[in-house]
Amino acid sequence: MKILVCISNVPDTTSKINFTADNKAFDKNGVQFVINPWDEYALTRAIELKEAKGGTVTVLNVGEADTEPNIRKALAIGADDAIRVNANPTDAFFVAQQIAAIAKENNYDMILMGKESIDYNGSQVHNMVGEILGIPAVVPAFKLDLVDDSTARLEREVEGGKEVVEVKLPFVASAQQPMSEPRIPNMRGIMTARTKPLNVVEPVGAEAKAEYVNYSKPEKKGGVKMIDPENAGELITLLRNEAKVL
């Protein structure tokens, strides 16, 4: 069984976020990047399936050379090899086209990724990949098991309960908690990751469909207003006219 796991390179949630002077681009200076946490659930589950059933796990990242440390981390966690599409991931459609091109070339049985990236929270790529390839996309799933060599069973949340889906391979799925427990690479994994294949390929000729015109930070929170506990009328007025929660 061949499993492709797509990972994104995202800012650590503890990083201070800034934009360029014209607010048209994200400023990477001083920012620590990590594997997208949702993608780690997909990666760990893929490795668990490989350990139980056999096969290979390939990690795919669409990004520039500065993403390679986190690709190596994925290899240290247990992936067998990696592919980096040498391109700036400009928008979801562009990324989906790159993933689909790699998938067509290598005939993977499963294409797994997180339900979204924590930087843009678009939650679009998985469905686009399924549509481009003409295969099912089950999103997002919190459980993934193999029924047999050609069928998988997934569970996902629906309003008021859960939905159980059986799907034939190949398919696309996105992961959320509690599909797996993300692993921390051990020393042996870190050492072996240095020699595992990391192939760099050029992107296919796909155009981005969206352009980010401007970035801005949320407005700063205003100061706290202290209201006399005996003055309920003033509190109600402020909640209605300023906070607009009534």
Put residue 55 in one of left, alpha, beta given phi > 0 → left and psi -120 to 50 → alpha: left
Q: What pLDDT score does 234 carry?
A: 87
> Which candidate, 104, 134, 147, 152, places its Cα nearest to that of 4?
104
Count of other CB atoms within 10 angstroms of residue 155: 16
CATH number attached to the domain at 2-216: 3.40.50.620
The residue among 129 and 219 whose pLDDT is bigger is 129
Q: What pLDDT score does 225 carry?
A: 80
- Cα Rg, the chain, nearest whole Å: 21
Q: Where are the domains of the chain?
A: 2-216
Mean pLDDT of 77-90: 95
> Which candidate, 105, 68, 108, places its Cα nearest to that of 86?
68
Judged against a pLDDT cut of 80, whether residue 216 lies above it is answered with yes
Buried b / exposed e over 162-180, threshold 16 CB at 10 Å, is eeeeebebbbbbbbbeebb
Do the Cβ atoms of 238 and 48 come closer than 8 Å?
no
Which token pair is 119? 């930087």
